[in-house]
């Protein structure tokens, strides 16, 4: 089996969600215990800080292990094709270790599984570079290589970091493809990237809705976020002009196209914030706010409208003014947006209906649930489970 | 959430009514911009205070002193007056801010107060050559404000200023990249500050006086002490003798982690203790004249073995703590 066990991974996410319900008192402790028992088998969640520790330690084990093996096989590595065999050997061992960590130790998102996966990819990367060194002179080839190297495991493992890397590599592929074609295509690069971003955004929006599991949805969310950010960056005046200079196309863009980029630089952040609030899209809103800061920096890069200290005071005053207006506007919830904290919203939910179905016992045979399902028969009539 | 509802409903684990209620809640739930508002407020206050500070810095000899002092002082006083008028009476426990603006107005007041005090010292030399006073007085004011208005951000600022009074720059960059602990005196000052901070945290927690401030005190104190000990160990002659001072710190952090289920404290304690033990082992190897390949093998085996042990330890402790 490549990748993670789907049932265990799905139950991992269900477990986290059900635990949240329990914390919010949407369900009582007894119901929580029953649901947790029913959500088996699953990967066990790990705390973020523990994951960081496990990631570092696994990296130390791999590095020390590779160093140890290198010392033992130093003569083999030094021989003609020994380096290749050593790298392939290390790759196979790491792959076996990775399978052991996932399949035997049932690790998912614990840091240890990511460390082994990324190490595998690192060794594969190194092997490929040493084997086909001359191919790595082409930026287009490198982009395609990274797209495949990151994209395939991203698809198999549903890993968000790899998904982000693969998606960025796809942008690089389009960029260098157009650049290599040359001529008018070079000038069309910003628009091609914007088109790709727009496609990525609309496609990922649909996939987020239609995805059947949490891990896939999270990966599409990453693509969604990157697409939104890349759409802005592809049309940002500073990015386009400075990249054009780097590519020797400083004056290639006609005046009206430059004006268009200026308009895009100013308009996209505002559009993001507007649509973020209207369609309740946090990704648009967050990136829109960051884009405002980047657009201000873009303007200041070319035109120092006022000294920095006055710009800071004015910026601070404007921001506080906007906050004041926003707080007045959202004194009550409007447009499906609220100034209240998420936790306050969640804790305000009053669940009056019953949690467990009276047919709970029936699923015992199809699920791995081992609790006394019959005890819940008819449960809930009291209104408080 | 939608996948979980669907899964539980499909498998008959929740009633249709409950599932429908959750779905309705999810689809009707408004989008929260709580953190956006707070981030923007923080940015606005910081930009405003930085801008005003820069105006003074750049125009210190050109604008009338009284005008500048007056404006900054009045603004700062205005902020404090607003906080005083709107705050509830002092409570030794945690209390919620009266409104969204309160914490940020207080922060703005303090930032302006620091500019005001710095300007007075630069221009009128109000503390003379007693530069320590120019640091300890604002530190005392900020500590008092942090306790009066229950502000963790101000507490951190107060601790940082107090540390600078002792000659220690308390920023992650300065602690890790620069030679903050370049001599024994600085290390001793760091350790004294560490003891004071840990003591303040412990006292507050045990006397139930602003108990929720304890993590901030412990966090600063623990990192400061551990980094001071490690820097002394790495740089001083017979430095390895210093390393044993890390043991009580790490033990305290592990105890705190267990008592408060703090995985952050667990990770920090683990990292510092791993560095200390590894340093002692490598130092021991070097002092034994270990320059053969055998030692390289042994050290690599140590790294593999210790990491496996550490992984088991972390996972076991995690399971005990949850």
pLDDT tens digits for B239-292? Answer: 778 888 899 999 999 999 999 999 999 999 999 999 999 988 888 888 777 667
Q: What does the pLDDT read at residue A277?
A: 93
Task: Give the contacts of A273 (CB within 8 A, at least 6 positions apart).
Answer: A284, A285, A288, A289, A292
Cβ-in-10-Å burial (0-12, 13-18, 19+) of B269 comes to buried
Same structural domain for residues B113 and B183? no
Same structural domain for residues B133 and B195? no
Kindly state whether A354 is in contact with chain B, defined as any CB-CB distance less than 8 angstroms: yes
The rounded radius of gyration (Å) of the Cα atoms in chain A is: 27
Q: What does the pLDDT read at residue A348?
A: 58
* Residue among A14, A38, A320 whose CB faces B44 most closely: A320
ipTM over 0.95: no
In a domain, B207, yes or no: yes
CA distance A97 to chain B (A): 13
In a domain, B65, yes or no: yes
What number is the average pLDDT over the span A190-214?
Answer: 95
- Cα(A84)–Cα(A81) distance, rounded to whole angstroms? 5
- Cα(B269)–Cα(B257) distance, rounded to whole angstroms? 9
* Residue among A310, A355, A363 whose CB faces B51 most closely: A310
B-interface mutation test, from A18, A323, A355, most B Cβ less than 10 A away: A323
Same structural domain for residues B173 and B137? no
Domain of residue B92, residue span: 33-145
> Tens digit of pLDDT for each residue in A134-191?
888 889 999 999 999 999 999 999 999 999 999 999 999 999 999 999 888 888 999 9
What number is the average pLDDT over the span B152-156?
Answer: 93
Same structural domain for residues B55 and B125? yes
CA distance B12 to chain A (A): 6
- What's the number of domains chain B is made of? 2
In a domain, B303, yes or no: no
CB contact under 8 A, B266 and A50: yes
In a domain, B310, yes or no: no
CB contact under 8 A, B40 and A289: yes
Question: Number of CB pairs < 8 Å for A and B?
Answer: 206
Tokens of A53: 């520790």
Same structural domain for residues B139 and B224? no
A359 touches A328 (CB < 8 A): no
Q: What does the pLDDT read at residue B175?
A: 62
Kindly state whether B14 is in contact with chain A, defined as any CB-CB distance less than 8 angstroms: yes
Q: Which of residues 40-79 of A touch B (CB under 8 A)?
A: 46-50, 52-54, 56-58, 60-61, 63-65, 67-68, 71
* Residue among A322, A349, A362 whose CB faces B25 most closely: A349
B-interface mutation test, from A21, A60, A344, A378, most B Cβ less than 10 A away: A60
Q: Which residue has the higher pLDDT, B167 or A45?
A: A45
Task: Give the confidence band of B173 by pLDDT, cuts at 50, 70, 90.
Answer: low
In a domain, B22, yes or no: no
Express as a percent the part of chain B with pLDDT over 90. 43
B256 touches B262 (CB < 8 A): yes
CA distance B292 to chain A (A): 12
In a domain, B229, yes or no: yes
Tokens of B258: 């267990």
- Of A263-277, A355-369, B18-32, B178-192, the poorest mean pLDDT is in A355-369
Give the chain B residue nearest A369 (alpha carbons): B13
CA distance B128 to chain A (A): 29
Task: Give the confidence band of B303 by pLDDT, cuts at 50, 70, 90.
Answer: very high
């Amino acid at each position: 089996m490549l990748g993670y066990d789907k049932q265990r991974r799905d139950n991992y996410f269900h477990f986290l969600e059900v635990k949240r319900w329990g914390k919010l008192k949407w369900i009582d402790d007894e119901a929580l215990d029953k649901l947790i028992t029913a959500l088996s088998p699953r990967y066990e969640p790990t705390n973020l800080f523990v994951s960081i520790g496990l990631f570092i330690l696994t990296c130390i084990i791999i590095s020390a292990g590779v160093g140890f093996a290198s010392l033992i096989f130093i003569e083999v590595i030094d021989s003609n094709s020994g380096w290749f065999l050593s790298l392939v050997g290390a790759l196979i061992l790491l792959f076996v270790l990775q399978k052991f960590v996932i399949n035997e130790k049932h690790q998912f998102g614990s840091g240890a599984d990511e460390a082994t996966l990324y190490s595998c990819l690192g060794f594969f990367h190194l092997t490929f570079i040493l084997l086909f060194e001359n191919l790595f002179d082409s930026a287009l080839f490198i982009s395609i290589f990274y797209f495949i190297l990151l994209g395939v495991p991203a698809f198999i493992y549903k890993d968000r970091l790899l998904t982000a890397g693969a998606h960025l590599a796809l942008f690089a592929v389009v960029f260098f493809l157009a650049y290599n074609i040359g001529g008018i295509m070079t000038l069309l690069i910003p628009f091609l990237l914007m088109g790709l971003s727009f496609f990525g955004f609309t496609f990922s929006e649909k996939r987020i809705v239609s995805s059947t599991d949490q891990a896939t949805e999270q990966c599409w969310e990453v693509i969604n976020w990157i697409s939104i950010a890349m759409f802005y960056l592809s049309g940002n005046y500073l990015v386009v002009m400075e990249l054009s200079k780097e590519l020797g196309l400083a004056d290639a863009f006609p005046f009206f196209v430059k004006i268009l980029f200026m308009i895009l630089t100013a308009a996209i952040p505002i559009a993001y914030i507007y649509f973020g609030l209207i369609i309740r899209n946090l990704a648009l809103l967050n990136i829109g706010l960051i884009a405002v800061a980047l657009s201000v920096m873009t303007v200041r890069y070319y035109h120092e409208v006022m000294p920095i200290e006055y710009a800071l005071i004015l910026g601070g005053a404007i921001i506080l003014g906007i906050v004041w207006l926003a707080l007045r506007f959202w004194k009550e919830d409007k447009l499906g947006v609220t100034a209240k904290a998420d936790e306050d919203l969640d804790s305000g939910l009053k669940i009056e209906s019953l949690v467990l179905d009276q047919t709970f016992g029936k699923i015992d045979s199809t699920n791995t649930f081992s609790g006394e399902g019959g005890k819940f028969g008819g449960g809930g009539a009291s209104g408080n489970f | 959430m939608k996948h979980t509802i669907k899964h539980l409903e499909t498998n008959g684990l929740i009633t249709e009514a409950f599932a429908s209620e959750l779905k309705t809640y999810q689809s009707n739930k408004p989008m929260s911009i709580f953190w956006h508002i707070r981030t923007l407020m923080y940015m606005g206050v910081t930009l405003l205070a930085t801008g005003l500070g820069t105006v003074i810095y750049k125009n210190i000899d050109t604008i009338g002193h009284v005008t500048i002092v007056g404006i900054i002082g009045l603004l700062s006083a205005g902020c404090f007056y607003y906080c005083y008028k709107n705050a509830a009476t002092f409570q030794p426990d945690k209390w919620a801010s009266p409104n969204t603006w309160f914490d940020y107005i207080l922060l703005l007041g303090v930032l302006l107060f620091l500019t005001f005090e710095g300007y007075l010292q630069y221009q009128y030399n109000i503390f003379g050559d007693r530069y320590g006073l120019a640091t300890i007085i604002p530190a005392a004011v900020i500590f008092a404000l942090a306790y009066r208005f229950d502000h963790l951000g101000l507490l951190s600022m107060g601790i940082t200023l107090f540390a600078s009074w002792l000659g220690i720059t308390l920023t992650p960059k300065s602690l890790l990249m620069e030679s903050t602990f370049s001599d024994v005196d600085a290390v001793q000052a760091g350790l004294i500050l560490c003891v004071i901070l840990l003591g303040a945290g412990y006292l507050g927690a045990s006397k139930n006086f602003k108990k929720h401030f304890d993590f901030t005190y412990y966090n600063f104190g623990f990192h400061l002490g551990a980094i001071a000990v490690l820097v002394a160990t790495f740089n001083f002659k017979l430095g390895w003798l210093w390393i044993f001072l890390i043991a009580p710190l790490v033990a305290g952090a592990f105890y705190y982690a267990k008592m408060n289920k703090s995985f952050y404290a667990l990770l920090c304690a683990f990292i510092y203790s791993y560095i200390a033990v590894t340093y002692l082992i490598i130092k021991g190897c070097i002092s034994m004249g270990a320059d053969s390949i055998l030692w390289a093998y042994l050290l690599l085996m140590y790294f593999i073995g210790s990491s496996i042990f550490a992984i088991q330890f972390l996972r076991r402790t995690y399971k005990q703590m949850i």
